[in-house]
Chains A and B, each alone.
Chain A
Amino acid sequence: MTCHEIKELTVPYLELDLEPSRIWDVTAHLDGCAGCRTEMESVRQVLVRVKGMAVPDPGDRFWNEFPGKVRLALARERPPIPAGLRKGMAGWPMALAASVLLLVGAWSLKGRRRRRRSRARSRRRPRRPSPSCLNLPKRIGMNSGMRTPIWLLSKWRPAWTVRRWIACSEISREGMMNRHSWNRSSMAAMLVAVLASPVLAQEMERPGGPRPMPPVMEELDRMGGPERGPGGGEESGRHFEAKKRERLMQALHLDEATRSRLSQRLEQLDQKGEDLRRQRKEAFEALREQAQGLRKGMKRGSREGGGRKSEDAPPAAGPAVDSGALKQALERVYAVEDAMSGLRRERVHALREILTPEQQVKYLFFTMKFQKAMRERLQREQGGQEGGPMDMKR
């Protein structure tokens, strides 16, 4: 057996995933080859070390509460939609309703056209049928339906009778149409409402506002206490800062004098930071105004140039923006950014002055850890729970 073959069999050998005869061969080779023994030992070390990395136990409270959290999350989820209906689910009732509406619309229009025709005919005729037509014998009269019976048009009937009957039937038909067209519209409306109601109900059920908070975040919030109000980003930022400061002070185990000195200095720097943030906001707003002017100018320039770009054409008219003001706005932004960098340096200097090296290390690690936690929390809150498409065929 060669060293190369042994290399291939190292992991199966250590995992006892080989046939007994092969295990015997590998052992025999290892007895006589120091290089392979070293390699085998290094792989064994890796497996031992990897195996030794434990998962921290989140505690009994977590395990006890876990099924309840799952139940809560499950209740929050919408009931599963059958896979066959999932595709285009929202569209089909609306499509059906639209088709029904079209049909009903066409039907009503047809009726109106007939009514208009009958009105026009009656206007053309000098002698309108008298209301006495209503006293016609029953078999010819009102319940004669929509069509003129063919037997009525036979020659042996006097012409006036036929004419009168037709006029009467048109009148009665008009009445019926009016009555029926109302019924049709209301029926169509009801049909649309019934068909659209599941979709509307689904939409109503779906929370319109922010996405539901992940359960873990809810838990964190509950642990975080009631002080986190519904304020905006600035408010929550201040809250996080205060919380971070409080936990930092606890972790550093400072004596009273150092603690008050540090808090005083950090508060001063925080105040300065807040001023600078406000200035930065103003500076960026000014810059945004200038940028908008610049964009408008460029658009105008391209329009005046006719949108064509020929080789020998003069360049489009320059942006109608005050370049002095733009430069000024830029300088203001740079100045504020410089000041913010200076503030960061000042903060580091303050730490170096006040804290011992060990405390500085703790401070730095703590800040990094806290920032990471906050960043992750923010991302989770913004991103929500993104399950993504899942393959669950089994």
Chain B
Amino acid sequence: MRYALLALALAPVLAVGMVARAQVANKQSFEVIQHGRYMATAADCTACHTAPGGRPFAGGGALETPFGALLAPNITPDVQTGIGGWTDDEFVGAVRDGIGHGGIHLYPAMPYTYYTQLTRADVLAIRAYLATVQPVRNLVIANQLPFPFNQRESMVGWNELFFKPGEFKPDPGKSAEWNRGAYLVEGAEHCGLCHTPKNVMGGDENGQANQGSVLQSWYAPNLTGNSHVGLGDWSVDDIMLYLKTGRNRFVIASGPMADAVTHSTSHLTDVDLRAIAVYLKSLPPGGGTLPQPISAEDPKMQHGGAIYYNQCAACHGAEGQGIVGLFPRLAGVPVVQQQQATSLIRVVLEGSRAVATAGAPTGPAMPSFDWGLSDDDVAALLTYIRNAWGNAAPGVQPRDVGSMRAALHREAQQSP
């Protein structure tokens, strides 16, 4: 009762205050902050800026790049170690142009190459939201790269070669839904950061957008309309269900995509998910033509088939049919037939836990087979899976299994 009286007493003051502030800035507006929270989720800021087990947005998480390690900075409002002392223009510059506080050049592990498409209003809304999170004093030295990559000035030249700055321009010939989808896919969600092949300098390969790429020992699959390796056979509803729940009739998300579903896509509105799906479905098929399957008589296929029926069929089914929402389908699905088998090798060796979401809470997992299958076994098994039941994809070489195995063992020894 006392609180109610207090609230009544303050109400006129608050109302007057709100009116007055709205005329100069709207950073405290409920709508702006909640919009910023939504856009920060769409941009998946937390994926890098919240370290595993760390405080939200306090930074410190390691980002492995082919050039060395970077640590994600602290973006809480702490004045000394976060972004509390930045001006709005500095924040917008960092997000959209890759030029941070004090004029330093950011590395494109911060996907300004995608965020450049965001509107200034959306970026300022993210800023308004970040101003409301708990400030954390956590000094992060982001640049852990070795010489010469630690020379930030080198990014001036890189940007000239690979960075096309500029806000998203809607295509008036397309629907509002398509344009919203394009804005989210090419901007906030920065899908191409993983799904577009990179050149030796780490820039996007021109003309191969969203055709699949290897990143951190995972293969991010083709997202184009290619029906063999891309989303050609997926419906708009399939894509929406996948992004919302982490699963559909073809696959269950695991690895880095599980994180993207958990932190970002599962929280988007159905309207936005549909827009994303409509846009992705409009991408023309890319990424090569249908290869010839390897003959079932091939000794590797025979070897791999025997292992499959012994070790895999109990869950994935005798015909690779899987169980929706539990055991991924292997027959006729793009993720199995990508150009490179990187993710498949990794999952067989290391095991994998599928994403769990409110809509699909099961979160099933596959065990590790590292201890029981040799390099030859895994290569034959995956060659079989990639060429059985109508599948067709290049065979898998034992040396690729061996190097992945060595890399995973190194990673396991390094992790605490």
A and B pair up: no
The chain B residues found within 8 Å of chain A, CB to CB, are none
The chain A residues found within 8 Å of chain B, CB to CB, are none
